[in-house]
Structure 1
Amino acid sequence: MALQFDPEYAAAVEPLLPPLKEKEIILKLADCPDVKQQVHHVKASDGYIISVLALYKKDAPSGLGPAVLHFHGGGMILGSAELHAMPLAQLVSKTSVPIFSVNYRLAPEYKDTIPVEDAYTALLWLAQQDSVDSSRIAVYGESAGGALAAGVALMARDLGLQPPLAKQILIYPMLDDQNQISNDKMEPFAFWKTEDNVTAWTALLGDKAGDHDARVSPYSAPARAISLAGLPSTYLDVGGLDIFRGPFCGQLLSSNGASVLHIDRLADSANQDILVPRKWSISLDLKIPGCIHLLEILIQEADVLIGPYRPGVLERLGLSPAALLVPHPRLIILRITGSHRDDPYKDMASYDINDLVVSSVLRMLGARGEPPSPPANILDDYAGGSLAAFASVVLALIHPSSSGKGQLVEANMVGGASNIGTVPRLRTKEPVWMSKRGTNVLDGGCP
């Protein structure tokens, strides 16, 4: 007769089973016979012995070389370097760069800055190894490990580490103890839920977790750092479960407190702006000199002028950036274009699907065995164009506050779409990525 779990125990363990099932992905990774492992022991300042799992390429050339110091995830409360040995070995096999993964002390037994101090102790030890070029060390971590990597980078900066860190690689890092507001639409699909986040930070920080007024070290919760100046080159990789919302540049500006005046065409209902909340609107025929004069008066009261046209359209209306900046030297003029100003297609009309082709994004979209399938006009027009334009305006507005001078800012949709596709494109270079579209976690292979 088959044995059965106690009902109370079964009810308690049931929520833990799906995450354990996910570990099969790691277990199915191929072994790396060309990678050897070795455990080192490093003494902390309080006498505690920190174990460091080192992974080397067996045929790696001798002499000084780069190294990666890795910190595993697990919410600061669980996990180990050994659990990550297989995917780390894949990286070592692919790159020939040795990785040293740190078994730092875990909360709640060890709180506050103890885990990050263990991580920094391991960094100092690694910098002294004969085979390591101390000027070419990167810190790398995912989730809680990303927080430790960021904390170590802050600590290295503040303590004047020489030579400084070469890079920090933060993979969906757990940076902010004050991130405690749940998203009801996202929670059912999230692997790491808001309540998990609260549990983890409380284990590390106790009652200080989530308290804006509490004195929490930025080394423990890097989002509390006042300044990020002086940090090494950074690669930040985050995931997203929510769909893109409210992407139009003017709508983003108005939603963030800006006063936005939309210039509409006369009696052109087919092209009306549907993103109208918190916007002013006026209809003008810009082929009439009087309307141009009225627009020039309105621009004198503006901080930003958004021109969603190809180069040359504003100029033909007598509204060239050079002419506008004379009476209004602090004006920010945003030009949203299809291609970069130096691109051979710069003067051509821009269409969403064409831009996705040129940016190499379209080939990453679509179901297995099917032709590429663009997601309406979200990625290029709205995300690649409007979101990039919004960021450009926000950054450009900083300039007049210090220099007193405005400027022309250009946001091209091909470049914006290409930037959005950066992470999936880089993922295709990883050893675990399948070549066929629709067979990977990020392209529909794991819905």
Structure 2
Amino acid sequence: MSAAFDEREAATRRTIDAVWRIEAAKVIASVARVVRDVALAEELAQDAFVAALEHWSREGVPDKPGAWLMTTAKNKALDRLRQHALHARKHEELGRDLDAQERHITPDFVDALDAAREDDIGDDLLRLLFTACHPVLSLDARVALTLRLLGGLTTDEIARAFLVPEPTIAQRIVRAKRTLSAARVAFEAPKADERAARLASVLEVVYLIFNEGYSATAGADWMRPALCDDALRLGRILAELTPEDSEVHGLVALMEIQASRMKARVDADGRPVLLPDQDRSRWDPLLIQRGLAALKRAESLGGARGVYALQAALAACHARAPTAADTDWPMIVAIYDVLMQVAPTPVVELNRAVAVSMAFGPQAALDIVDRLRDENALRNYHWLPGVRADLLARVGRKDEAREEFLRAAELARNAREREFLLGRAGELDR
């Protein structure tokens, strides 16, 4: 009896956790519209989550769990407004929206407001994204707050995903909320004159989350698929909310196509499998299809030269090639040439060098890489000596290649990458 009860409790908790992961952003966003304070909105949403734990464990999961959480959180928001004697000011703000300034905040009024604003959940989510990714916050803070508010992740989950102590993540989130409050950041979409810059900040955060999942910077695993899933979900939501923005579709295209390869990027033991050696039958055709459609959408909106669209075009070249030998490397080099005009960075040039090596031979690429050795931005970037080592090996300079592989391994923070680079160095001893 006890075992059955425990299993039922565990099943209920799993359901609640799943519902929270899906509904948290909507609940927080809707409550934030009412209370005009993101930190308070999250606190009230968390209170609703705790209430769900208590009620659902005792009474069972309701037919519409998301609606239950939303209603409970909004009721708590109303109670808080009354407790702090803010109902008059909040009524004035909300009343203006409905041309009903003379009404008092009552449960019936809130229900009417909810019904009138049922279609505004998309706008609320967009406001929440812009708030969590506000440039007043550091990049680390933006990432943590976005995963917390829109990803539905716990502090512990974020800490484990980025291999950072939980107290560190907790402090980042607390400081981020305080910073938003101190800076009086309004819960609203940015005005037209600052929208592009603010949207760029949102895209930067989403892509950073995806990249950390796709190629983990540290730890024992080469990938963390859950982070990729979180970034993809955020990107898809953003594409629905901003359907006419080409860069959003470019980013979604890039992430969809990159994610399509994830099952083929590691072997049965979790070791990295590089692109030329991947079993392309394991690439996900649905994600490729979605990515190519998003890329077409970005290009149709005039965003072919956008940073994310160009990177998506590079990924599309690989996705369209039936085999590694069929890859159109000259086309990839040409796209990199355009990307270097739009976003000239040492990392882009290093990646371009890899494409040059495949299209025109290793020596042509080695000349490029050698010029990059003085770049401060790449001084501790392990893939600079890693790429150079591969090129040296291909032109027959094996002793130098071995030293570069060993240097790359020393710089690598990810255990799988380090193991891979040491393996390449060992192969040259044979």
Structure with greater strand percent: 1
Same fold (TM > 0.5): no
Instruction: Output the TM-score relative to the length of structure 2.
Output: 0.28
Look at both structures and tell me which one has the larger radius of gyration over its CA atoms.
1
- TM-score, structure 1 length as denominator? 0.28
Q: Which structure: greater helix fraction?
A: 2
